[in-house]
Amino acid sequence: RSMSQAIYTPMNQGHFGLAFDAYTHFTSPIRRYPDLLVHRVIKAILGKQKYQLPALPTPGEAHAKLSKRLASRARAPAAGEVVKKPSADLLAWQAAGLHCSANERRADEASRDVEAWLKCKYMREHLGEEFSGLVTSVTSFGLFVTLDAMFVEGLVHITELGGEYFRFDEARQEL
């Protein structure tokens, strides 16, 4: 999650890490729509045909954010360089890339929300029980602890640490 997310685009930018000039990847076509598109394009190429994209739904807020990110990455034309207007086909593939990127982010966010909700639901049934865990972060208002067995992270508020006085040392990350 700390790495920048990929944006699906019809522009061949190769693969920096693998040092390939031309690159694509895909998994099972039942997992993600972009993978299905790659499978369909390869099938069309093998059949000596051109794959025609289906019409996509109208883009939403995530599409607008991704469009701005792509525009900021775009190379500015050199002085005197003639800029060709993109073809309808290229624009359709750009729209498909933005659509897939936005929906993948939305699905990831929904998945994280559901996972967090399920962890809360599970832990609610175990209030008052003791668990072993690892302190993962310290703040002025308490400790964040990840439980060993379940990888559930939660806050132990400073008021739950007893009646003692605690002073937060930010430089050393300790109470």
Q: Is the pLDDT of residue 143 over 90?
A: yes
The rounded distance, in Å, linking the Cα atoms of 7 and 30 is: 20
The rounded distance, in Å, linking the Cα atoms of 93 and 106 is: 20
pLDDT for 85: 80
Per mean pLDDT, which range of 65-79, 98-112, 117-131, 143-157 is the poorest?
65-79
Q: pTM (2 decimals)?
A: 0.62
Mean pLDDT of 28-44: 86
pLDDT for 49: 96
Q: Is the pLDDT of residue 3 over 90?
A: no
Residue 24, Cβ density class (10 Å: 0-12 exposed, 13-18 middle, ≥19 buried): exposed
The rounded distance, in Å, linking the Cα atoms of 100 and 33 is: 7
What counts of helices (H) and strands (E) characterise the chain?
Answer: 3, 3
Check residue 142 and give left, alpha or beta (phi > 0: left; psi -120 to 50: alpha).
left
Residue 106: band (very low, low, confident or very high) from pLDDT cuts 50, 70, 90: confident
The rounded distance, in Å, linking the Cα atoms of 39 and 14 is: 19
62-85 pLDDT, tens digit each: 566 666 766 666 666 677 777 778
Rounded alpha-carbon distances, angstroms, from residue 123 to 113, 118, 131, 162 = 15, 9, 11, 22
